[in-house]
Structures are given as structure tokens and as C-alpha cells.
Amino acid sequence: MTIAPQSPPSPRDRLIVALDLPSVADAERMVDQLGDTVTFYKVGLELAFAGGLPFAAALARSGRQVFLDLKLHDIPTTVERATRQVADLGATFLTVHAYPQTLAAAVRGRTGHEGATGLTVPRGLQILGVTVMTSYSDADLREAGYAEGVSLTVARRARQAEAAGADGLIISAEEAARIRGLVGPRLQLVTPGIRPAGTPNQDQKRVMTPGDAIRAGADYLVVGRPVTAAADPAAAARAIIAEIQAAS
Ligand SMILES: O=C(O)c1cc(=O)[nH]c(=O)n1[C@@H]1O[C@H](COP(=O)(O)O)[C@@H](O)[C@H]1O
């Protein structure tokens, strides 16, 4: 199987808006409000459990890019089969927890799907390994039984994700520069925990502004509440895209 080459994304295409909303109707309203400003959306657990999967498939059919943030983690057979199902929805990204067994199974699930034809295909579903949640500090990891701390754990999982054939990593932008030095250019660095200057961190602990994240080497920024809870979501998204552009 040959993967078709991709051109680098434009500043607008590097912003992924997280549709963490309670219903498909709310998500549809937000997508309408954002209009042409936003091209890439994340559907996560809250919306997925409220009928969000058919909505995500429809969003992909409408020409938007879709990130399915399902954070899979199970025995390898279950993850491989679940990934094969997700590959049919037309999403660009799927998250799995960055454990070696889980990553390898997800890569088999999406590769098997694409490889069935044996033909050259456009780049299909890409697997992102979630390293250490951006809401975690060293102390939170220690409490969960991981003595190594954030920095070493992210580095270990990044190397394992690359070895397993993953397409990218979910990391905090704080780690982006160092992780880019550890893994090759093939891996997409996708960074949540983005907070424009002056916006509250809420439950995020490892945060950066959009401009700093791009300068640190992030390929994509995931932004939820700073856009969706803003008085004018489209204006908030435009301001983030302007920061991405200025830092690119
Ligand atoms: O996998 C993710 O997308 C994710 C990983 C992570 O470590 N931290 C993190 O915040 N996220 C997601 O990114 C989004 C961040 O939302 P805001 O904090 O509202 O910008 C949420 O949808 C989270 O589920």
C-alpha cells in the first residue's frame, strides 16, 4: 500500500475545535456558527455517547476533517476490530491510549482496512497515541502509580508509539520541542491544553498559548472551551488562527 503525499496544512486547518457539547443539535449549531472559519472538528466522548458518531460521519462527508477522540484502550483484538469499524466513518484521526499493545492493534485495524484493496489510497484514518493527559502533573501521575513523572513517561510513550507505527501523538505543547527531537518528522504532534492569553486553565495543567505551541513545533492545536464557550466563537477561532499564522 502506498500513502498519497500530503501538503502541509494551512493555519486554518491546524486548528481543531473540540465539540464537547451535550447534543448533536448543540454541535450542529456550533458548526453553523463557526461556518467557513473552522475546517477541523473533534468529536469526543460526551458527544459520541449522545449520537455523535453518525454526526461525525456526516461532518466528514460534508468536507470537514474529523478527529474521533475515543481514547480506545482494551485487549488487542477488541482494539483492532473497533478501529476497523471507526475507519468506515471517514475520520482523519482516532485516539488510542499510547500503550504498545493498544497502538499496535489500532495500527493493524486501520492498515488492514486500507490494505484490503492493495491499491494506492489517499491517506485514511490516522492513529494518535495519547501519552499523558494534559490535566496530569507529576504528582497526579505518581498518585496513579507511575513514578517516572510526566517528562519521562511522555518520552517513553512517544518512542513506543513511533515503533508501533502510530501516525501521531497527543502531547502537551510544553513537550513538543523535546519530543520532536526524539521522534522523526513522520509523527504528527497534536496538542490540547491550549489557552489563549488571559483565558482560564480550568482543569488543564500543562498549557500553552496558540502562538507558543506552534513555535514549539505543534502540528495541530486542539481547542475546546476557549472557542465553544466564547461569547463569539467564530471571533475566538479567528483570533487563534491569526496567532497560528503569525507564529508559522
Ligand atoms: O485526546 C485529547 O484530545 C485530549 C488529550 C489530553 O491530554 N488533553 C485534552 O484536553 N484532550 C482533549 O482536548 C480537549 C480540550 O478541551 P479544552 O480544555 O476545553 O480546550 C478536550 O476535548 C479533551 O478531551
Which tens digits make up the pLDDT trace of 193-223?
999 999 999 999 999 999 999 999 999 999 9
| Burial group, residue 186, by CB count within 10 angstroms (0-12, 13-18, 19+) | exposed
In this predicted structure, what is the pLDDT of residue 235? 98
Question: Could you give the ipTM of this predicted complex?
Answer: 0.99
Average pLDDT, the chain: 93
Atom of ligand 1 nearest to the CA of 71: 1
Distance CA 113, CA 130 (A): 22
Q: How confident is the model at residue 7 (pLDDT cuts 50, 70, 90)?
A: confident
205 is catalytic: no
Determine the average pLDDT of the residues in 151-159. 98
What ranges do the domains of the chain cover? 12-247
In this predicted structure, what is the pLDDT of residue 112? 63
DSSP type of residue 148: T
Measured from CB, residues less than 6 Å from any atom of ligand 1 are 18, 20, 44, 69, 95, 130, 133-134, 170, 192-193, 202, 204, 222-226
pLDDT at 233 over 90: yes
Cβ contact 120:4 at 8 Å: yes
Q: Tens digit of pLDDT for each residue in 96-127?
A: 999 999 999 999 999 865 444 444 334 489 99
Range 46-66 burial, b when 16+ CB lie within 10 A, else e = bbeebebbebbbebbeeebbb
Cα 67 to ligand 1 centre (Å): 12
CATH architecture for segment(s) 12-247: Alpha-Beta Barrel (3.20)
